[in-house]
Each structure stands twice: as C-alpha cells, then as structure tokens.
Chain A
Amino acid sequence: AQKITQTQPGMFVQEKEAVTLDCTYDTSDQSYGLFWYKQPSSGEMIFLIYQGSYDEQNATEGRYSLNFQKARKSANLVISASQLGDSAMYFCAMRENPNFGNEKLTFGTGTRLTIIP
C-alpha cells in the first residue's frame, strides 16, 4: 500500500481563490511528521509547512495552512488567495518515527497546480 496518496494529478484554480490539495497517509506509527513541498519548474523543492502527529492545532504559515485530520489520516494543504506564482507541483511527504538511522522522507506523486489569471 502507498504510504502517501495524492489523488489529484492536476488542478486548475482561478487567481485569488482558495485551493485545497488532498493528501492521505498510511502509517502504524504514533509519532510521525507531515510535510508539504512546492516544486516550481526550476526543479528546486521548497519547504512550505510541517505538521507533527502530536500537534493539536493545525499548522499555518502565511497563506498556507494544513488541515490535519488524524483519525482520517489526512493532511490537506490549503492555499488562500492563490497567486500566479503558486503554479507548481506540490508534494506531500511523511517522516515516520525519526530514530537516528531511519531518515526516510516518503513522498507522494504530487499535484500539479495551475493558477489561471
């Protein structure tokens, strides 16, 4: 079974609208972390936001917020007031039980977001 599932291969959103990118995850660990990265056409992966499994509040970073529903194992990214520069690939990733020597960050297949002017 896939650890990280992103079911939306592509999305088109009107500029200034809010957009939700879906991410569900699969783990049996109690301690884990969830990340969202943005990858523009230049290739660089840009860290956006992080949510810990024990965090009681949803993470927020500027226009980005993470809708964390632990019981449903979902960690959707919400971008408010979308801008043309938000057009990119977006990846959800998970880090399970980060013991020294267990470094793996597992990524989903990504969602390509296109903002329409």
Chain B
Amino acid sequence: ETGVTQTPRHLVMGMTNKKSLKCEQHLGHNAMYWYKQSAKKPLELMFVYNFKEQTENNSVPSRFSPECPNSSHLFLHLHTLQPEDSALYLCASSPRGGSYNEQFFGPGTRLTVL
C-alpha cells in the first residue's frame, strides 16, 4: 500500500465511548500531523510529531490523546468526546518538520459523536 492511510474511514461513537483513530504512512517520512476539519471552518492543526517526538500541541483538549510509536504510525485516542468534536480528522505526513515540504494527507476519518 502506498501514501497515507487512515482507519476507520467512518466512526460513530457515544460520549462515553473510547475509540482510536489510526494513521499509517508508507512514504518514509519523519513528520506526522493530526488535523481537524469541521464544517465551515478552516482546517485546524492539532498535533505534530517529528521523529516520534511531539513538537506541537495546538491547545487540544485532553480528551484527545495522540500516540506515535514510530515514524510510520500515528494514533489519536478518543475518550469522553462531545458532539462538537464531530468532524473529519485528517492525518498528514511530510519528509521532516521545519521545512517547506508539502504535507501528504490521508483520506480522513469522518467522526460522529452522538
């Protein structure tokens, strides 16, 4: 498989559930990103990992917990979410942080919180 993949593509969860989003990149990149895309709002950066280390947390609530076990995999653990957290969650990767390299995006996970 090539590029950036995300699973699941769609997720419906209750406010008391715990779930995880998975992202995998097959591009040999060293930087990975989580973005949130809500309706009628610009794409919002959530977290950045460079060489498995978190280098940016854009004031994200603690109910979102990222994990980056290696440069190819990125997870977003979700717990006690709110309905306003319903959005498209996009993962991206780039060769490394601190550069002008374009970011390559996955297809996203459409999350609905009931």
Indicate which residue in B43, B100, B105 contacts A46 across the interface (CB closer than 8 Å): B105
- Chain B contact residues, CB within 8 Å of chain A: 31, 33, 40-43, 45, 48, 50, 55-56, 58, 88, 90, 92, 97-100, 102-108, 110
A-B contact pairs, 16 of them (CB 8 A): A43-B88, A43-B90, A43-B108, A44-B108, A45-B90, A47-B102, A47-B104, A52-B100, A91-B43, A98-B97, A98-B100, A100-B98, A103-B48, A103-B97, A104-B58, A109-B40
Closest-by-CB residue of B relative to A42 is: B107
Which residues of A sit under 8 angstroms from B104, Cβ to Cβ? Answer: 47
Q: A44 contacts B100, CB within 8 Å?
A: no
Indicate which residue in B40, B41, B50, B92 contacts A45 across the interface (CB closer than 8 Å): B92
- Binary per-residue interface labels of chain A (60-95) against chain B in the complex, 1 for a CB within 8 Å, 0 otherwise: 000000000000000000000000000000010101
Q: A43-B108, A98-B100 are in contact. List 12 more A-B contacts (CB 8 A).
A: A44-B105, A46-B105, A47-B103, A98-B99, A100-B50, A101-B55, A103-B45, A103-B50, A103-B56, A105-B45, A105-B103, A109-B40
- Chain A contact residues, CB within 8 Å of chain B: 4, 33, 35, 37, 42-47, 50, 52, 91, 93, 95, 98-110
Q: How far is the CA of A104 from the CA of B42 in the complex (A)?
A: 13
Closest-by-CB residue of A relative to B97 is: A103
Q: A100 contacts B107, CB within 8 Å?
A: no
Closest-by-CB residue of A relative to B90 is: A45
Q: A99 contacts B42, CB within 8 Å?
A: no
> Given A43-B108, A46-B105, do A100 and B55 touch, yes or no (CB 8 Å)?
yes
Which residues of B sit under 8 angstroms from A93, Cβ to Cβ? Answer: 43
> Given A44-B105, A91-B43, do A103 and B31 touch, yes or no (CB 8 Å)?
yes
Q: B98 contacts A108, CB within 8 Å?
A: no
Which residues of A sit under 8 angstroms from B107, Cβ to Cβ? Answer: 42-44
Which residues of A sit under 8 angstroms from B92, Cβ to Cβ? Answer: 45
Closest-by-CB residue of B relative to A102 is: B98
Q: A103 contacts B90, CB within 8 Å?
A: no
